[in-house]
Structure 1
Amino acid sequence: MSIRPTRSIFLLVNLLFISLGLNAQVLTLNNAVETALTNYASIKAKNNYLNASKATVQQSKKEYLPNFNLSAQQDYGTVNGQNGPLYGLGLSVASSGLPLPKQNWNAAFGALYLTNVNWDFFAFGRARERINVSQSIVTRDESDLAQEQFQHSIRVAAAYLNLLAAQRLTQSWQNNLERANGLKNVVVTRAKNGLIPGVDSSLANAEVSNAKISITQARDFEQEQANTLARLMGVTDQQFVLDTMFITKMPRSLSDSVYKTESHPLLQYYANRIAVSNQQAKYFQTLGMPTFTAFGVFQGRGAGFSSSYATDQHAYTQNYFEGIKPVRANYLIGIGATWNMTGILRTRQQVLAQNFISNALKEEYNLADQQIKNQLLLSENKIRNATLNFQEAPVQVKSASDAYLQKSVLYKNGLSNIVDVTQSLYILTRAETNRDIALSNLWQALLLKAAAAGDFNIFMNQ
């Protein structure tokens, strides 16, 4: 004998699910956005780029400091000299000795201790412009981080609304399945009693099967939206309990407002890109100017060769400590200037190229500005259309619900056919679906307006 579940068992199961739902933590939109801004990899990357730019500013400031070099060397070798012209191309030794009549291989220890200070104290603002370039890059990277955070907040909010709408659609198709099962039970009972043709039960079974397929498709779509939200939040959990305010409550204000697109985070970023390019052009102009340098050198030197070595080739010692001991010292201070005259020709073209880059960046700014203004106009139209649809949705649901109730009652009394009932069932499901997405579309339109205006608070303050 089979045991059929009683009504009390179903009630107990329902209460259990309700209690689990109440204990689940609701993910609010604020929490979703905050989690995303903390976890998302692209935002972390831009934070690191910003920190690198800030470090570059400090490095640029320290480049103006004098160079202070310490050098020490201890050698062992010969000191044969030779008269003749040479050019300081490198890869040669600097042995110090008089030209002798013939080669010898006398070798001793020697040493050189050197302190050098040089400072490019004036270069027509080159150091200052380098610092200005670094600071403008910091400003650009700060605005890049801000616009990335803004755009990601918009993406997370859109994914949140999409998932919420998908959950509501799943619930609507669940309701449709329950109605189809209820209709099937009525049809099967009447068909068994010979009150209606058996084909009606086949049509009812087909409607139930179609409802099951539809709810599976709805769940698949819901899972895709949950996956998108989880990816944008930088988490792996894809079971979300969302705040239903966005499908039960209208925004407080939908009035048209005038917004200045210049304050949009994306346009701020584009403007700062132009500023960096212009600052680089100013820096390049200084590269063709002279550089004035102050310098100072103090040198100590030791050698194992005696001052009389030129006349007596035996006057040297191979004692290590005698050779490295400094016995002569020299100092030198001075001011010099260097100017590569042909550098002006090169820097002129470099500045010209940078100016072209600035013009290109300005055109990109104009394009983005035009797109944002068009998006703002589009958002206003979408808000008006979504408001009209939201106002019509309850009327459609009420009419479709009344029609389904009428057709189902008539069918139970043998005054209608199964086709009329399934048609009214389809119309009711469509009406409920339109109702579920109507308010979501209104919030989506408001989110589009916030994205176009560059102010996320337009959406969040509602």
Structure 2
Amino acid sequence: MKLRNLFPLGQALVLAGLLAGPAAHAQQPRELPQQPRPLTLPQALQVAQANYPALRAKQAAVRAAQADVRTNRSAFLPQVSAQLQAVNSTMNQVRGAFIGGVAIPISGGIKTTDYNGATNFSSLGALVIEWPAVTFGRYRADEQRSEAAVSAAQADYDQAVFEYQTQVADAFLLALGAEKSVALQRANLQRAENLATVIRAGTRSGIRAGIDSATTNAEVGRARLQVLAARQQAREQRTRLAGLLGQPTQEVLLDSMQFYAHLPQTNAGPPAGDTARTNNPLLRAYARRITAGEAQVKLLSANKRPQLNLLASTWGRGSGVADATTDKGDFAINSSPSAGLPFKAYDYMLGATLTWRATELIHSGRAAQAQRIRVEQARADYDQQALQLATQQQNAALQVDLARQTALAAPLQLAAARQAYTQARARYDAGLDNLLVLTQAITVLNRAETDQALATNNLWRAVLLQGAASGNLGGLLGQL
């Protein structure tokens, strides 16, 4: 982008910032803590778990499921309702009539000799207590369903954390490998520059041919390009890691923790089938979904049963319609609020109601059958995941074995390459060999150093892959 094109863009950004100022002030982004510097792998896993939005969403889902448990339990507590009202209405009504609500309905006739449009005040105050005392297993089934939902949400969160930790650990190792590549290419550049300095001095003194100086300068340029390419790749890997940590704007400084000082220990093979099924977070999540589905089946089956409610109510009523009739048989009406609003009659009621919806047998039975089919689907998904994990475990064991053999063979290649470079340098300095042989020796040494670092990094990643397949990263983190 040309410089003159930046000014309209900058003006537009400033204008947009001014227009969006109040909105941005109203909703501030979540402030993220600074990363530890240097950042170790365990610290990276901790930062990712605390900051990544997807994991915080999973945590919120667990808390919501726990809140649902408390909500469902409160639904089976006694329900206390109160109602207080004042009404001004015509007298063509049942004396003491009221607007519908929680109060118990009443009946009684006050038929007058003729219709009258006069109004009067009436009042009502009621307190009703209703308690589903006996639900014939529905309460327990609903509680088990909500608790199973909490377990499923927690298992889903644990699985998400484990999967994300695996991604972060792999990104950390890749970024670490890229940093190691930068260090190796810098060392290669330093070798090329040192050799170029010696050759230029020899060229000026007439000991070396001019073509040697030009060739060496070309090798120095190539080494610089390799350093730039390695730096670009390292920057990309660090940016990817920072994004996984939930802090893409912060620079990541890695702590190697001597990853390249020793090789990791490897397991003999994958754990036993039952152990892997029990400990693997992914399979635990699928198993909890089966349990939640079975709890839903029990709840739907419990809906076919009746329910016994205990009921208690007390209320008071007032009316501007007189209790006694006049000589003409009409009720006397007093339209003043003081006559109609004070309570005059008080009642209470105690009882029990047994409710059974016969048609619920059909509805709940069909819903339970549909839910059983979903449980069968969840079991099939569980078996599929178990099969895939068993395959991944076998593949991870093969990858670890191959990476371990490669990592053990790489030092032999590096030692031979160093010896070849030393001999080629000595022969070149003695005038017994040309620059081409020395350049090839430098290239072989650089490739051997790169292969050595790559083999070590691949072995650590293979151990990570094995831990991811078995559902336990302790084999990797326990060696740090």
What TM-score, normalized by structure 1, do the two folds share? Answer: 0.86
Residue type of the alignment partner of 1:279: A
Q: Report the CA distance between 1:55 and its aligned residue.
A: 1.7
Q: Distance in 2 between matches of 1:410 and 1:305?
A: 127
Offset, 1:321? 2.1
Partner of 1:274: 290
Q: Which residue of 2 aligns with 1:420?
A: 437
The whole-number CA distance in structure 1 between the counterparts of 2:299 and 2:107 is 43
Kindly state the Cα deviation for residue 294 of structure 1 after the two structures are TM-superposed: 2.1
Q: Secondary structure at the match of 2:321?
A: coil
Give the Cα–Cα distance (whole angstroms) in 1 for the partners of residues 258 and 400 of structure 2.
Answer: 18
User: Which residue of structure 1 lines up, in the alignment, with residue 309 of structure 2?
Assistant: 293
After superposition, residues 201-216 of structure 1 pair within 5 angstroms as 201-216=213-228
C-alpha distance in 1, partners of 2:106/2:267?
Answer: 83
Match in the other structure for 1:35: 47
CA shift at 1:379, angstroms? 1.6
Displacement of 1:327 in angstroms is 0.8
How far apart are residue 102 of structure 1 and its match? 4.2
Q: Does 1:404 align with 2:393?
A: no
Is the 8 Å Cα contact of residues 72 and 146 (structure 2) preserved in structure 1? yes
Q: Secondary structure at the match of 2:333?
A: coil
- The separation in 1 between residues aligned to 2:303 and 2:270, in whole angstroms, is 49
- Residues in 2 aligned to 1:117 and 1:314: alpha-carbon distance in whole angstroms: 34
- State the shift of 1:391 in Å: 1.3
Judge which range, 39-48 or 421-430, deviates more. Answer: 39-48
Paired with 1:347 and 1:199, the residues of 2 have a C-alpha distance of 91
**1:126 and 2:138 aligned:** yes
CA distance in 1, matches of 2:339, 2:465: 84
Percent identity over the alignment?
28
Match of residue 451, structure 1, among 460, 468, 471: 468
Give 2:58's match in structure 1, choosing from 36, 39, 46: 46
The answer (yes or no) to whether the contact 1:186–1:412 under 8 Å persists in 2 is: no
Contact 2:322 2:332 (8 Å CA) reproduced: yes
Query: Which residue of the other structure, out of 111, 118, 125, is the alignment partner of 2:123?
Result: 111
Provide the C-alpha distance between the structure 2 equivalents of 1:314 and 1:50, rounded to a whole number of angstroms: 64
Amino acid at match of 2:144: N
**Deviation string for 1:406-456 (max 9, x for gaps)?**
233333344333333222221111100011121111111111111111122
Determine the structure 1 residue equivalent to 2:380: 363
Counterpart Cα distance in 2 of 1:323 and 1:214: 97
Matched, 1:217 2:229: yes
What is the deviation of 1:99?
Answer: 4.0
- In the alignment, what sits opposite 1:15? none
Instruction: Indicate the larger mover: 210-219 or 285-294.
Output: 285-294
2: CA distance, partners of 1:287 / 1:95 = 34
Higher mean displacement: 192-201 or 326-335: 192-201
Give the CA deviation at 1:191: 4.2
1:262 aligned onto 2:274: no
After superposition, what is the alpha-carbon deviation per residue over 1:177-230, rounded to whole angstroms, capped at 9, x for unaligned?
Answer: 112222333443444455555444333222222211111111111112222222
* TM-score, L = length of structure 2: 0.83
Report the 3-state secondary structure (helix = DSSP H, G, I; strand = E; otherwise coil) of the residue aligned with 1:251.
Answer: coil
What is the distance in 1 between the residues matched to 2:208 and 2:309?
A: 108
Q: Match for residue 372 of structure 1? A: 389
| Cα root mean square deviation, aligned | 2.5
* Contact 1:280-1:354 within 8 A present in 2 as well: yes
User: What is the DSSP-based 3-state SS (H/G/I as helix, E as strand, rest coil) of the residue aligned with 2:323?
Assistant: coil
Counterparts in 2 of 1:91-240, with a 5 A limit? 98-100=110-112, 102-193=114-205, 197-235=209-247, 236-240=249-253
Does residue 318 (structure 1) correspond to residue 308 (structure 2)? The answer is no
CA contact (8 A) 2:86 2:341 kept: yes
- Give the one of 307, 311, 323 matched to 1:307: 323
The 2-side partners of 1:37 and 1:353 are apart by 37
Unaligned runs of 5+ in 2: 1-35, 95-99
From 343, 349, 362, the counterpart of 1:332: 349
Q: Is the 8 A contact 2:87 2:123 kept in 1?
A: yes
Within 1, Cα distance between the matches of 2:301 and 2:107?
A: 43
Contact 2:120-2:334 within 8 A present in 1 as well:
yes
Q: 2: distance between equivalents of 1:439 and 1:44? A: 34
Partners of 2:74 and 2:403 lie apart in 1 by 58
> What whole-Å deviation, never above 9, does each CA across 1:260-283 have from its counterpart, x for those lacking one?
221211111110011001100110
Q: Distance in 2 between matches of 1:57 and 1:95?
A: 41
Partner of 1:65: 77
- Matched residue SS, 2:260: helix
Query: Which SS does the other structure have where 2:311 is aligned?
Result: strand
Question: Structure 1 residues 166-175 or 403-412, which shifts more?
Answer: 403-412
Distance 2:172 2:331 in 1: 93
- The AA in structure 2 aligned to 1:58 is R
Equivalent position of 2:7 in the other structure: none
Cα deviation, residue 110, structure 1: 0.5
Q: In structure 2, the residue corresponding to 1:242 is in which secondary structure?
A: coil
